[in-house]
Amino acid sequence: MVEESDLSNLKYLEMVMKESLRMHPPVPLIPRECIQDCNINGYHIPKKSRIVINAWAIGRDPSTWVDLYKFDPERFLESEVDVKGRDFELIPFGSGRRGCVGIQLALVVVRLVVAQLLHCLDLKPSRWYVTT
């Protein structure tokens, strides 16, 4: 049986989770309100403007990610990028004070459930699989 204390040893599972969240963020569009006038990349954004941050597009930014449409957990092998939005390269749960309050619970539960499924089930590829 996999326990929460085992999760820190399951590095590949963490990489798979990060790659899954990069490709399919649970919150693809993050609404915000601009609290002061600002300029971003030459665009003026007035105070009180409602903006939407596209977390889905951030996970597919070609200036950050190589082979964006390929599911490749190994891209996180030497990477310090985390899913908590610290670096803004990957923000599936938003970031900062307005980020998802349940992020820590979600990260533990997802890893624990997937690890338990992999531990308990004998998974085999179907004869009906898609090749790329």
Annotated binding-site members for heme: 100
Q: How far is the C-alpha of 9 from the C-alpha of 12, rounded, in Å? A: 9
- What phi and psi values does residue 83 have, to the nearest 5 degrees? -90, 5
Q: How far is the C-alpha of 16 from the C-alpha of 72, rounded, in Å? A: 8
- Residues of the binding site: 100
**Helix, strand, coil percent values for the chain (each to nearest 5):** 35, 15, 50
